[in-house]
Structure 1
């Protein structure tokens, strides 16, 4: 095997491993938009009940008022 081909396989394998690692982090959530895990997990929870006393309930600072 030539030296250039061997180097190409090493770098190709490295890039493949990076792609495999980033698939579940980035691509999978974008492809499965119908899954609403956070909404299901937080169903029935009232934010004011779990908020520590004396703290303001969080609101989106960039939202319209």
Structure 2
């Protein structure tokens, strides 16, 4: 068994890490950087669904909890 030494070892490890990076890019990194395609698919899939009808227990549809109501004193 031949052992890699010096620059060949570095090239082997670099190539291995690069191969893993190239494999993970379309699976993990690309969807996070540009999610417009997935938003379009989601919008198309939920086109005929009325969220108000399927909300369980007559609960209101999710709203932003940090969107504070304005009081009269403000």
| Structure showing greater relative contact order (alpha-carbon pairs closer than 8 Å, 6 or more residues apart) | 1
Q: Which runs of 5+ in 2 are unaligned?
A: 70-74
The question of 1:20 aligning with 2:23 is answered yes
Counterpart-to-counterpart distance in 2, 1:63 and 1:41: 28
Aligned residues: 64
Give CA deviations for 1:18-54 in whole Å, capped at 9, x if unaligned. 3311322221562x73561000000010111111013
Radius of gyration: which is bigger?
2
Could you tell me how far 1:64 is from its partner in structure 2? 8.2
Tell me which residue corresponds to 1:57: 61
Alignment gaps of 5+ in structure 1? none
Cα RMSD, aligned residues only: 2.9
